[in-house]
């Protein structure tokens, strides 16, 4: 997966240059985000439901509903376009948001919230984090 993974074409479309393995990783990440939003027992659920106003015990229900809707809409769009060769800007944004949520949920669920803790993570976890970061770097370049 060396080189740029997402490339802005002259016609404005964003070319997805992920191979099958890369798409499988993205599929797994999107699947976890989708599952975590609906399942309170999923290890990523807490990360997707972080406090909006920590000074209150309960957040505004409308705000939390809006967040749930937005996360779900983005990840459903990302899943629907997983097999596409080209993405438009809205689809690429949905990929970026969903991959970034997966990245943060991974470190939150594993308690890797500092540089020191991150350095102690096992090799598969570090590889997974590095892979998601690589996807995100490349997506950010074209958005």
- Which whole-number Å values give the CA distances from 132 to 9, 67, 98, 111, in the listed order? 23, 22, 10, 17
Contact 116, 132 (CB under 8 A): no
Task: Write out the binding residues for other proteins, residues 69-108 only, by CB under 8 A.
Answer: 70-71, 74, 93, 96-104, 107
Report the 10 Å Cβ neighbour count for 78: 25
Alpha-carbon distance of 19 to 22, in angstroms, equals: 5
What is the x/- site pattern for other proteins, positions 7-36, by CB under 8 A? ------------------------------
Residue 54 contacts other proteins per CB under 8 A: yes
By CB under 8 A, which span of 8-16, 23-31, 38-46, 52-60 interacts with other proteins? 52-60
Range 64-69, long-range pairs (CB < 8 A, 24+ positions): 68/37
| Residue from 53, 80, 88, 111 in contact with other proteins (CB under 8 A) | 53
Chain residues in the site for other proteins (CB under 8 A):
50-55, 60, 63, 66-67, 70-71, 74, 93, 96-104, 107, 112-115, 117-118, 129, 133, 136-137, 139-141, 143
């Amino acid at each position: 997966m060396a080189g740029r993974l997402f490339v802005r074409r002259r016609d404005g479309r964003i070319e997805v240059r992920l191979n099958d393995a890369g798409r499988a990783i993205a599929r797994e990440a999107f699947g976890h985000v989708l599952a975590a939003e609906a399942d309170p027992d999923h290890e990523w659920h807490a990360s997707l439901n972080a406090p909006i106003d920590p000074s209150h015990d309960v957040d505004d229900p409308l705000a939390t509903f809006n967040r749930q809707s937005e996360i779900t809409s983005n990840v459903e769009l990302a899943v629907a376009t997983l097999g596409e060769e080209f993405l438009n800007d809205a689809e690429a944004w949905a990929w970026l948001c969903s991959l970034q949520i997966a990245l943060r949920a991974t470190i939150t669920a594993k308690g890797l919230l500092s540089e020191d803790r991150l350095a102690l993570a096992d090799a598969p976890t570090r590889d997974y984090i590095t892979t998601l970061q690589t996807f995100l770097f490349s997506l950010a370049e074209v958005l």
